Chain A
């Protein structure tokens, strides 16, 4: 079956350097640095990445960061709470625009 997303493509992420090596190297170096232990632990960063992966709805990132958070010692509850954080922010972001809608509604109403 042909689909737009192929799980095997995740392993080929590094191949993006084929068309533009310099920028890709800069990106992967940066990426590596970002996820190291710092003011936040590598584990906390991995959970943030999992939440963002859901917010941007990237299937590659969801696979990658589900496994990565498990390998950082997180359990299913922690993973799901991270997803709820993403959902709450996405839901909240939609809802807060309700204020704008109300403003406009009132502006146009008698």
Chain B
């Protein structure tokens, strides 16, 4: 089990600069060339729908595949002032959904304040809850009730319906706690048939392989979680791991990098490329900079328009919508097979 972030370990791949250098060093076809072949380069935006906010890199877990390099040793978290800038931008953005992520977003001391303010804007609010946070400390035990009170959609990772595959990716004991947390969410009405409280699960492979067919897997997860643990949920999103941060480090260390990248490139799907999530999403970092997606955020590929990095303090929807999306070799993870986004398949 790992307990420290790459940053704390001073690992070579902890910096975005080194990751980008590494990704560019292989002989694979450039992602931009693939886009060019279908007249998609440079990639441009569609109507903004999802405003994603990363509330910080602090987390109670240290998952092996984490593209955020999150963990208890990460101290970068969003201040209330920056949250206020988010609220102003969201009100102007026209996005119908606000997606809160992290780290563990609930660990931000202003999390509840932010959700309460967001609720006044009449948006669909998503929280990416890692489940174990609900049990990590007494002060988080009432999160299911809090989520319910604000009609938040809960999206949670569960890589498998067995302990061995879940714990090997997310840490010892995570599966058992996740099942307890799911039961608490079910208890207040989340994920039950007919309930308007949505509980969606995220599957991502615990290793160097691609995700299965989303629908077939959802069926299997539903059957197993119900029969083994009496757990209910709404949808399952099957997500591909992108070669960023800790997953990149894992690929390199386990000598799976070349084969994995080759697999992604061979599975390139032009329809998925047309529908990549960055076309209808903005992603804001803890310090208020604006990115095309959470992956670009971790690679510090900031949006720039007319050579100016975009920050919430001068947010203008028309300006950011005029941008060309920044792509690189990691983007192959979004276009493989049925495609991958924060809400699962895109093709």
Footprint of A on B, CB under 8 Å?
160, 162, 164-165, 203, 205, 207, 209-213, 216-217, 220
Contacts and interface: CB of A to CB of B under 8 A. Distances in A.
A73 B216 contact: yes
Nearest to B263: A67
Contacts, number: 31
B26 to A, nearest CB: 16
Interface string A50-84: 00000000000000000100111101110000000
List 7 A-B pairs, minimum CB-CB distance, nearest first. A73-B212, A73-B217, A70-B209, A72-B212, A71-B210, A71-B209, A75-B165
A77 B161 CA distance: 12
A70 B209 CA distance: 7
Contacts of A41: 216
A71 B241 CA distance: 13
Given A70-B207, A71-B210, A75-B164, 9 more contacts: A42-B216, A43-B216, A70-B209, A71-B205, A71-B209, A71-B211, A72-B213, A73-B217, A77-B162
A42 B165 contact: no
Contacts of B164: 75-76
A38 B294 CA distance: 38
A11 to B, nearest CB: 8
Interface in A11-34: none
A67 B160 CA distance: 16
16 contacts: A41-B216, A42-B213, A43-B212, A43-B216, A70-B205, A70-B207, A71-B210, A71-B212, A72-B216, A73-B203, A73-B213, A73-B217, A75-B160, A75-B164, A75-B165, A76-B165
A70 B220 CA distance: 14
Contacts of A67: 209
Contacts of A76: 164-165
Contacts of B207: 70
B27 to A, nearest CB: 15
Contacts of B220: 73
B237 to A, nearest CB: 14
Nearest to A76: B164
A5 to B, nearest CB: 17
A73 B162 CA distance: 12
Contacts of B217: 73
A76 B212 CA distance: 15
A42 B213 CA distance: 10
B228 to A, nearest CB: 13
A72 B219 CA distance: 13
Contacts of B211: 71, 73
B166 to A, nearest CB: 10
A73 B212 CA distance: 6
Nearest to B165: A75
Contacts of A73: 203, 211-213, 216-217, 220
